[in-house]
Amino acid sequence: MPRITAEDGVNVFARDLGEGDPIVFLHGWPLNHRMFEYQYTHLLDEGFRCIGIDLRGYGKSEKPYGDYSYDRFADDVRAVLDELDVDGATLAGFSMGGGTATRYMSRHDEARVDKLALLAPASPVITEKPDFPEGLDESDVNPLIEGARTDRAKMNADFAEMLFHTDQSDELIDWIWSLGMEASGQATIASAETWRDADLRPAMDDITVPTKIYHGVHDEVTPIEITGAVLEEGIENAELIRFENSGHGLVADETETVNEQLAEFAG
Catalytic one of 61, 95, 184, 246? 95
Does 95 qualify as catalytic in the annotation? yes
165 is catalytic: no
In a 3-state reduction of DSSP, which class is residue 184? coil
3-5 and 113-119 strand pairing: unpaired
Amino acid at 32: N
CB 219 within 8 A of CB 248: yes
Tell me the torsion sign for CA atoms 67, 192, 49, 227: negative
- Considering 54, 219, 246, 253, which one is annotated as catalytic? 219
Alpha-carbon distance of 230 to 243, in angstroms, equals 16
Q: 157 vs 34, 37, 97, 105, 148, CA distance in Å?
A: 17, 20, 20, 32, 11
Alpha-carbon gap, residue 133 to 176, rounded angstroms: 32
Given 27, 33, 218, 248, the catalytic residue: 248
**Other CB atoms closer than 10 Å to residue 210's CB: what's the count?**
16
**Residue 218 bears catalytic tag:** no
CA separation for the pair 79, 160 (Å, rounded): 30
**88 Cβ partners below 8 Å, 6+ apart?**
21, 22, 112, 114
Distance of CA 2 to the CA centre of its chain: 20
Cα separation of 198 and 194, whole Å?
6
- Contact criterion met (CB below 8 Å) for 251 and 38: yes
Catalytic machinery residues? 95, 219, 248
